[in-house]
């Protein structure tokens, strides 16, 4: 039979109480912090997942913010282009009006001409639309107005992209080149000088910007490709097919036609405006597609966010019911340990030797 | 009557021992003592052999050498796990909130701020937000590094304290050796209380470093420990020395040496201490922490270099290129990178030098910012297996696994020690009930013997009064 000494009993009681108190402390920590994982060793794999999920959640939040900004950019771009369409339809209305009636009074001609000039400035203002500090139709050259008072373009073809999801980027701008100038590319030789030189050291010095001139786009392209319209009429016709219309130039031509009373210029304007409509519409379609991409990704990221939050909560957050029932159970355990110790430790033969 | 007188003395001794036991019921390391009574040799009385009463054989202690030996061994393991657990607890406190405020979340915040800037590359507030979050990454690296350095120096101090404790214990054991030999030179006398103290000192010593004990004929013990060699022999104790000597291969310069009687320094035993809390301290300092420090250094080094390599390619809004974002100070090595990392001068002084564009003169160009943000997913660590977040989270995960296994070992070891303590208690512990019974026993025997004297006395009186009749 084993000897049961007082020291043994005290040690046992001490250990049992400590064990229960340790458990209760863990329960309490979970209850207080509301977290299941309070240090890496609580659940190493869970900790790894929690860190990964936290990173994902934060990144998605940033994506959402970026997409909000993209949305506002694209929204402003779209409404600006809609306004541009309105300018074009008013111009068309006036041109039709002027080309139909044969004898116009000079006063009426002057009135229409001043309205045509007004339309030119409206189009210019639309081209220099800003969101905050940024000129949205300027490509990367967002800090300066892309169009000067003659409609020469100082921007570039820069596409400002933002990350909508890891590894996926969407542009938030369209340049003014396509809708206003009818160009898909910047014609060489008359583009920005620094880029053409292609020399790093020179490029680092602020280069004097050479604008894309406000001219007939077909002639610009032909000039940059060194095609003489007279010598090579087929090639020039092809270029004419592929490019659009310079809206500023068309509106100027209209105004000039009205001023000088040249009906052929007004007719030419009518043709150009129809072409311009389609190029503006085409750009709006592009903007619409981008807006769509942003909206789709917003929904997707939103859904991901919910899932990630849920996953993280599953890994990290304490199950409150569980914690409190554990706490209650351990408290009961502690009580019974204390009760048992009371019974065990009190009686001694010495108590009875009185 | 003289028989009873001897018995009275013997039982009184018994009561004294009981009282000694009861007094020491709560004394650490005390072994209960017992009076060994033996019958005196009888004398021949005619044909009958008549007993001559009781004598005290010896006062011995009840102890189990086997349990004591196990306690010494397991103490060493317990000490080791306790030291390691301390370090892991500190490390865990450092990395417990890694997901929310740790370096990985700060790096993620930095990349998100870069993405935010990419929507408005020339914005000064957004640029300054990026710089702030870059600073937060740097200060977290510095903070971790300072913590590690503080832990290393704390471990050094504790190791020095342990060495001092070892020296005081070995000197105590040597002193007790001497006293035990002096007492036990008399046959039949045992130095019970000195032996208890020595056992306790050996057990305390074993908790600091593993020991091998050999008991000699005369009752003295010699103590030795692995490569540190003999710590105590009959001639006295050999001290250890904790010395600081510059050593470029270790984070700390504190090393432990053996020492001769005359104070000359022997060989370096730092790496071969084995278990025990001192061994655990050294293991934490020279194995556990360097691993973590190296990981954090690698992260700081990789982070700084990866960002610089992309950042130098781009152009700031001031049209400058080839500017660095971070600096690693004077030396380009992984070692100490987390201490040296900082924001580059150009970044500290001029926000417009933060590269955003891939060409000069285009302030709206955000391509370089996107390229920087893309680095977050680039697996530049573990041979192209891990990006920043993976690297850090797997490091924290591994630390958690290690901390958990140390804690489990510690729990196991604690319960093993508990078991052994119980076993020791079973043989050596004082039971108050038992002592109460002994007390009754000796008291009754004392009473009975006193009665015997009374009876003998009255018998004598009877005899003396015979002639009156």
Whole-number Å distance between alpha carbons of A276 and A270: 10
SS3 B450: helix
User: A229 — contact with chain B (CB < 8 Å)?
Assistant: no
Region B174-190 average pLDDT = 91
Mean pLDDT on A174-199: 69
Question: pLDDT class for A206, splitting at 50, 70, 90?
Answer: very low
d(CA A47, CA A37) in angstroms, rounded, equals 7
Chain A, 97-156: which have a CB under 8 Å from a chain B CB?
A: 132-134, 138-143, 156
Minimal-distance CA residue of chain A relative to B105 = A55
* Cβ contact, residue pair A349, B26, below 8 Å: no
The sign one gets for the Cα dihedral B291, B297, B301, B307 is: positive
**pTM of the predicted protein model:** 0.85
Which one is predicted more confidently, A210 or B455? B455
- Whether the CB of B412 is below 8 Å from some CB of chain A: the reply is no
Shortest distance between the Cα of A349 and any Cα of chain B, in A, equals 5
- Per the CB < 8 A criterion, the answer to whether A141 and A114 are in contact is no
pLDDT for A239: 87
Facing A40 at nearest CB: one of B123, B367, B399: B399
Tell me which chain B residues have a C-beta less than 8 angstroms from the C-beta of A162.
Answer: 115, 118-119, 366
What confidence tens digit (pLDDT) does each residue in B282-320 have?
A: 999 999 999 999 999 999 999 999 999 999 999 998 888
**Confidence band for B246, pLDDT divided at 50, 70 and 90:** low
Helix/strand/coil for A72: helix
Strand pairing of B229-233 and B221-225?
Answer: antiparallel
Closest residue in chain B to residue A202, using alpha carbons only: B360
pLDDT tens for each residue of B26-38:
899 899 999 998 8
Interface contact flag, A8 B390, Cβ < 8 Å: no
CA distance B162 to A23: 31
Cβ of B418 within 8 Å of Cβ of A160? The answer is no
Q: Nearest CA of chain B to the CA of A141: how many Å?
A: 5
Higher pLDDT, A311 or A104: A311
Which of A5, A51, A163 is closest, CB to CB, to B115?
A163
Average pLDDT, chain B: 90
Please count the residues of chain B.
Answer: 469
What whole-number distance in Å separates Cα of residue B317 and Cα of residue A140? 12
Nearest CA in chain B to A3: B426
Q: Evaluate if residue A189 carries a pLDDT over 80.
A: no
- What pLDDT is attached to residue B414? 92
Q: How far is A324 from chain B (nearest CA, A)?
A: 23
Interface of B with A in 74-133 (CB under 8 A): 88, 92-93, 95-96, 98-100, 102, 104-105, 108-109, 111-112, 115-116, 118-120, 122-123
Q: Does B440 touch chain A (CB under 8 A)?
A: yes
Instruction: Please state the ipTM of this predicted complex.
Output: 0.84
User: Which is more confident, B386 or A204?
Assistant: B386
A308: pLDDT strictly greater than 90? yes
CA–CA separation, A239 vs B124, rounded Å? Answer: 44
Chain A residue at shortest CA distance from B124: A133
Q: What pLDDT was estimated at residue A198? A: 42
Residue B206: band (very low, low, confident or very high) from pLDDT cuts 50, 70, 90: very high
- CB distance A5–B122 less than 8 Å? no
Identify whether the C-beta of residue B321 lies closer than 8 Å to the C-beta of residue B281: no
Nearest beta carbon to residue B436 from set A4, A316, A350: A350
Identify the pLDDT of residue A194: 44
Contact B104, B392 (CB under 8 A): yes
Whether A39 contacts chain B with CB within 8 A: yes
Per CB-CB distance under 8 Å, the chain A contacts of B377 are 166-167
| Lookup: tokens for A250 | 């068309």
Mutate to test the interface with B, among A11, A41, A130 (most CBs of B within 10 A): A41
Asked if B365's CB is within 8 angstroms of A158's CB, the reply is yes
Q: Decide if pLDDT at A19 tops 90.
A: no
* Helix, strand, or coil (residue B418): helix
The string of pLDDT tens digits covering residues B346-375 is: 999 999 999 999 988 888 899 999 999 999
- Rounded Cα distance, B125 and B137, in Å: 18
Backbone torsions φ then ψ of B188, nearest 5 degrees: 85, -5
Per the structure block, which two tokens stand in for A157?
Answer: 């073809």
Q: Which residues of B touch A61 (CB under 8 A)?
A: 112
């Amino acid at each position: 039979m084993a000897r049961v000494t007082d020291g043994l009993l005290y040690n046992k009681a001490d250990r049992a109480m400590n064990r229960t108190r340790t458990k209760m402390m863990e329960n309490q920590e979970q209850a207080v912090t509301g977290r299941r994982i309070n240090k890496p060793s609580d659940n190493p794999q869970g900790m790894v997942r929690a860190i990964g999920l936290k990173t994902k959640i934060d990144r998605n939040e940033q994506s959402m913010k970026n997409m909000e900004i993209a949305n506002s950019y694209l929204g402003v771009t779209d409404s600006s282009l809609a306004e541009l369409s309105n300018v074009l339809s008013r111009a068309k209305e006036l041109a039709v009006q002027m080309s139909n009636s044969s004898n116009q009074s000079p006063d009426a001609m002057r009135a229409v001409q001043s309205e045509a000039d007004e339309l030119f400035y409206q189009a210019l203002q639309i081209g220099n639309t800003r969101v905050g500090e940024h000129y949205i139709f300027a490509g990367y050259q967002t800090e300066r107005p892309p169009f000067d008072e003659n409609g020469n373009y100082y921007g570039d073809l820069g596409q400002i992209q933002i990350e909508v999801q890891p590894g996926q980027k969407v542009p938030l701008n369209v340049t003014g080149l396509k809708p206003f100038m009818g160009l898909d590319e910047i014609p060489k030789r008359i583009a920005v000088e620094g880029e053409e030189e292609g020399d790093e050291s020179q490029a680092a010095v602020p280069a004097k910007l050479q604008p894309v001139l406000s001219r007939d786009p077909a002639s610009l392209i032909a000039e940059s490709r060194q095609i003489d319209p007279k010598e090579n009429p087929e090639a020039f016709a092809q270029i004419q097919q592929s490019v659009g219309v310079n809206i500023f130039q068309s509106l100027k031509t209209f105004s000039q036609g009205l001023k000088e009373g040249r009906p052929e210029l007004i007719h030419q304007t009518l043709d150009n405006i129809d072409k311009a409509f389609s190029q503006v519409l085409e750009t709006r379609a592009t903007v619409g597609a981008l807006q769509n991409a942003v909206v789709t990704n917003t929904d997707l990221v939103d859904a991901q966010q919910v899932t990630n939050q849920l996953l993280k909560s599953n890994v990290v957050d304490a199950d409150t019911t569980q914690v409190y029932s554990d706490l209650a159970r351990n408290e009961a355990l502690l009580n019974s340990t204390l009760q048992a110790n009371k019974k065990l430790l009190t009686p001694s033969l010495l108590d009875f030797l009185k | 009557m003289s028989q009873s007188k001897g018995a009275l003395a013997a039982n009184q001794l018994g009561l004294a021992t009981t009282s000694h036991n009861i007094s020491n019921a709560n004394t650490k390391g005390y072994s209960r003592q017992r009076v060994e009574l033996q019958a005196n040799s009888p004398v021949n009385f005619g044909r009958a052999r008549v007993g001559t009463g009781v004598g005290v054989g010896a006062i011995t202690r009840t102890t189990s050498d086997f349990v004591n030996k196990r306690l010494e061994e397991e103490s060493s393991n317990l000490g080791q796990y306790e030291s390691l657990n301390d370090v892991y607890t500190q490390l865990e406190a450092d990395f417990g909130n890694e997901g929310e405020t740790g370096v990985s979340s700060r790096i993620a915040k930095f990349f998100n701020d870069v993405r935010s800037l990419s929507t408005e590359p020339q914005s000064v507030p957004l640029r300054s937000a990026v710089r702030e979050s870059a600073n937060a990454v740097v200060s977290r690296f510095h903070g971790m590094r300072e913590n590690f350095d503080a832990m290393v120096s704390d471990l050094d101090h504790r190791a020095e304290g342990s060495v001092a404790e070892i020296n005081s214990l070995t000197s105590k054991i040597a002193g007790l050796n001497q006293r035990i030999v002096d007492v036990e030179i008399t046959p039949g006398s045992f130095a019970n209380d000195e032996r208890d103290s020595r056992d306790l000192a050996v057990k305390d010593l074993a908790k600091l470093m593993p020991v091998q004990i050999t008991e000699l004929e005369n009752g003295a013990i010699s103590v030795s420990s692995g490569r540190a060699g003999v710590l105590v022999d009959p001639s006295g104790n050999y001290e250890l020395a904790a010395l600081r000597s510059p050593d470029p291969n270790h984070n700390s310069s504190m090393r432990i040496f053996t020492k001769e009687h005359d104070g000359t320094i022997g060989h370096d035993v730092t790496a071969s201490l084995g278990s025990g809390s001192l061994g655990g301290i050294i293991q934490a300092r020279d194995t556990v922490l360097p691993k973590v420090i190296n990981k954090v250094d690698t992260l700081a080094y990789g982070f700084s270099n990866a960002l610089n390599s992309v950042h130098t390619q781009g152009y700031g809004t001031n049209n400058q290129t080839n500017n660095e974002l971070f600096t690693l100070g004077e030396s380009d090595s992984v070692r100490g990178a987390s201490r040296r990392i900082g924001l580059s001068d150009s970044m500290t002084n001029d926000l417009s030098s933060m590269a955003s564009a891939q060409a000069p003169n285009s302030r709206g160009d955000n391509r370089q910012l996107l390229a920087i943000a893309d680095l977050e997913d680039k697996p530049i660590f573990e041979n192209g297996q891990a990006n920043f977040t993976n690297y850090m989270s797997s490091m924290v995960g591994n630390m958690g696994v290690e901390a958990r296994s140390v804690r489990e070992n510690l729990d196991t070891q604690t319960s093993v020690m508990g078991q052994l303590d119980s076993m020791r208690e079973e043989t050596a512990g004082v039971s108050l009930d038992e002592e109460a019974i002994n007390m009754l026993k000796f008291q009754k025997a004392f009473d009975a013997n006193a009665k015997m004297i009374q009876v003998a006395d009255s018998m004598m009186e009877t005899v003396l009064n015979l002639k009156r009749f």
